[in-house]
């Protein structure tokens, strides 16, 4: 009976999903990087930002104790993803993840009142 309980508990614990990077950091911010017209564009909302603007936005509006996830399409130039990671690190984020997503781009609808 004790052995059956121990085996059941082990099976249950081993089936639980692993938190981001093996740690539970609660909320992770979603951002994106795209490539258009020969330039890398960085997104925390519906307006494309330069790398410097991206870093400043991350510094001013986001809790750097949380994780940041940078989404991008599979065929984006590597330098764009590297620039996004570097900007997030310079903004003070310690936990930075990247993910390939076909729908990577502007985050949320335009905020223009219409």
Read off the pLDDT of residues 51-62 as tens digits, 9 standing for 90 and up.
999 999 999 999
pLDDT of residue 105: 84
Cα→Cα distances 78→17, 34, 39, 72, Å: 29, 11, 12, 10
Give how far the C-alpha of residue 106 lies from the chain's centroid of Cα atoms, to the nearest Å: 13
pLDDT of residue 106: 81
Domain chopping of the chain, boundaries = 51-107
Pairing of strands 67-72, 39-43: unpaired
> Which residue ranges of the chain lie beneath pLDDT 50?
1-24, 109-114
């Amino acid at each position: 009976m004790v052995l059956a309980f121990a085996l059941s508990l082990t099976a249950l614990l081993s089936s639980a999903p692993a938190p981001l990077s093996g740690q539970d950091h609660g909320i992770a911010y979603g951002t994106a990087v795209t490539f258009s017209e020969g330039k890398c564009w960085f997104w925390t909302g519906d307006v494309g930002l330069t790398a410097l603007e991206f870093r400043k936005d991350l510094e001013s509006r986001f809790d750097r104790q949380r994780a940041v996830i940078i989404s991008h399409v599979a065929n984006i130039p590597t330098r764009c993803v590297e620039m996004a990671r570097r900007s997030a690190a310079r903004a003070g984020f310690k936990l930075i993840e990247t993910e390939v997503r076909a729908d990577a781009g502007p985050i949320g609808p335009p905020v223009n009142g219409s």
